[in-house]
Amino acid sequence: MAGRILIYDGIAANRIILRCKLSAACYQVLQAVSYGDVLRQIAKDRPDIVLVDLDEDPESGLRLCRTITQSGDDSAPPVICLASGCTTYLRVAALRAGASSVMAKPFHDGLLMATLRRNLREQQPFRDRRGPEPAHLAFELSEEEAQYHARPGRVAVIGAERTIPSGWLSKLRRAGARHDFSVLTPDDALTQNDESLAPEIYVLGARIRRPHDGLRLLSEIKSRSATQHARVILVLEGGDAGADQGHLTDAAMAFDLGADDVLVNGFQEEELALRIDASLARKHRTDLLRRSLHTGMQLATLDPLTGLYNRRFAFPRLGRMIRTACASQQPLAVLALDLDRFKSINDTLGHSAGDAVLVEVARRLSEAARPRDLVARSGGEEFLIALPETDLGRAHQMAQLLREQIRANPIALPGRNGPIRVTISIGVTMTGTPTQAADTLEAVLDRADRALYAAKADGRDQVSCAGFAA
């Protein structure tokens, strides 16, 4: 099924008609016969979207919308309000109650389906999360929620002429909007290449120079890396008398091109101000989820002390590098590195001193590596470096440079007078030669370890190369 939709309409015939439309589009449809039934089904069946008709009793319908959206439950479904008399007053009241969208009846079928698709896309990242909320995400939510509400958003307005967006801005400010507004040309929007400075919201007039310029600009904004995560609100030409079929078709197309909201009835400052606030709140939540996923990936792949890749990530990556080297018969050098007498540093100077040494050694190894090289902390005081397309001579030279760089530059420790001298032993092995077409991760690591043990046996602070088929 494309999604689970809960319908509330006090008139059974209306529910049946709407259910037929949605079922034909392969949605799973639930029906509620009262406001209490709506809340019970939300708790029991967890619908993706709730459709609430306001014709029977607008005030009660808005109270229901407020109850759903302002419950404090982050998993609460979005509410789409439906009304025959879809005036500015009613749209503003519904948006204040937390409605995601407000649609006029009778429906434009294409716009109804596009609105549902937009809401489902909005919810998809959060529906995909399973299990309890990660601790770091819970912390970020509590910390950053306050920061979001304390700062204005960056909002750019683009229209046919600068005078039109400027007039919109003055009306938005009179309506209470306190964001950081700017007026841009389409070229300004398309030359933005820094996501940290790009507007968070673009408000586009549907007709900038020619009909459908807004739709074309929308698709460009959503396709560019610096602006793909920005929210876009499209303002069509219209009024409370209702939009014509062409405008409604344009609105449906805008949603499917990636618009986050559309003002079907044209510019109205209070309505637009509320939609900007709601879009910023949704963007904040989505950005926070994206950052939390990035943080989770870092926690899973990086060593928290040194910032290098951990063995959980590095060994599978090295396995792929070995297979590529063997298949292409391109040399791959693998270095196993171990700090000499590291235990004595921990025993005599403390674990904080040992940690400082590991961090500094990791920094030096990273700085010496090329972007395509793999540098990892494989455990304790042990490190691993993989050098693609590097023959034995260059690998041995690299290992000697690393060894000398560590030995020749004592490491300063916080709170200690004078630096300490550290040395490192390195084992080198090769793969990717013509006779190693079937080399494996285990075999390569074993050879690197044997070379490292040989370097230790030679008195430490040495580089040793393992035997391998050449």
Instruction: Report the mean per-residue pLDDT for the chain.
Output: 88
What is the arithmetic mean of pLDDT over 406-424? Answer: 91
Is residue 226 one of the residues assigned to a domain? Answer: yes
Final residue in a domain of this structure, among 81, 113, 145: 113
Residue 245 domain boundaries: 134-299
Helix axes of 12-24 and 109-127: crossing angle, nearest 10 degrees:
70
Predicted confidence (pLDDT) per residue in 220-256, tens digit: 999 999 999 999 999 987 665 556 787 899 999 999 9
| Cα angle for residues 262, 283, 149 (degrees, 5° grid) | 110
Final residue in a domain of this structure, among 255, 275, 299: 299
What is the arithmetic mean of pLDDT over 330-337? Answer: 96
152 and 87 inside one domain: no
Give pLDDT, residue 243. Answer: 62
Is residue 136 pLDDT above 50, yes or no? no
Is residue 126 one of the residues assigned to a domain? Answer: no
Output the domain CATH number for residue 432: 3.30.70.270
Is residue 129 one of the residues assigned to a domain? Answer: no
314 and 459 inside one domain: yes
What is the arithmetic mean of pLDDT over 61-70? Answer: 94
Give pLDDT, residue 470. Answer: 36
Output the domain CATH number for residue 45: 3.40.50.2300
295 and 317 inside one domain: no
274 and 151 inside one domain: yes
149 and 275 inside one domain: yes
Among 317, 305, 407, smallest CA distance to 359 is for 305
Give pLDDT, residue 206. Answer: 75
* CB contact at 8 A, 243 and 236: yes
381 and 246 inside one domain: no
Taking the C-alpha atoms of residue 385 and residue 430, their distance in angstroms, rounded to an integer, is 12
Is residue 304 one of the residues assigned to a domain? Answer: no
Reported pTM: 0.76
% of the chain exceeding 70 in pLDDT = 90
Taking the C-alpha atoms of residue 144 and residue 284, their distance in angstroms, rounded to an integer, is 9
SS3 state of residue 8:
strand
* CB contact at 8 A, 452 and 426: yes
SS3 state of residue 187:
helix
What is the arithmetic mean of pLDDT over 285-300? Answer: 84
* CB contact at 8 A, 381 and 424: no
378 and 344 inside one domain: yes
Give pLDDT, residue 139. Answer: 47
Taking the C-alpha atoms of residue 187 and residue 198, their distance in angstroms, rounded to an integer, is 13
Final residue in a domain of this structure, among 235, 266, 299: 299
202 and 323 inside one domain: no
156 and 184 inside one domain: yes
Is residue 318 pLDDT above 80, yes or no? yes
Contacts of 194 (CB under 8 A, 6+ apart): 226
SS3 state of residue 110:
helix
Q: How many domains does the chain have?
A: 3
Predicted confidence (pLDDT) per residue in 378-398, tens digit: 999 999 999 999 999 999 999
Give pLDDT, residue 469. Answer: 42
- Report the half-sphere exposure of 212 (CA within 13 A, side-chain side): 9
Cα diameter, the chain? 90
379 and 428 inside one domain: yes
Is residue 123 one of the residues assigned to a domain? Answer: no
Contacts of 270 (CB under 8 A, 6+ apart): 88, 92, 175
144 pLDDT band (50/70/90 cuts)? low
Give pLDDT, residue 135. Answer: 44
Residues, the chain, total? 470
Is residue 129 pLDDT above 60, yes or no? no
315 pLDDT band (50/70/90 cuts)? very high
Taking the C-alpha atoms of residue 389 and residue 422, their distance in angstroms, rounded to an integer, is 30
Is residue 401 pLDDT above 60, yes or no? yes
Other beta carbons less than 10 A from residue 396's beta carbon: 19
What is the arithmetic mean of pLDDT over 63-82? Answer: 89
The two structure tokens encoding residue 29: 């449809």
293 and 314 inside one domain: no
Is residue 42 one of the residues assigned to a domain? Answer: yes
Is residue 205 one of the residues assigned to a domain? Answer: yes
Sign of the C-alpha dihedral, residues 44, 49, 54, 56? negative
12 and 157 inside one domain: no
Is residue 71 one of the residues assigned to a domain? Answer: yes
Beta strands, E only, 75-228 = 79-83, 101-104, 154-158, 180-183, 201-205
Partners of 158 in the β-ladder: 204
Give pLDDT, residue 1. Answer: 46
Residue 298: C-alpha distances to residues 301, 306, 308 (Å): 5, 12, 10
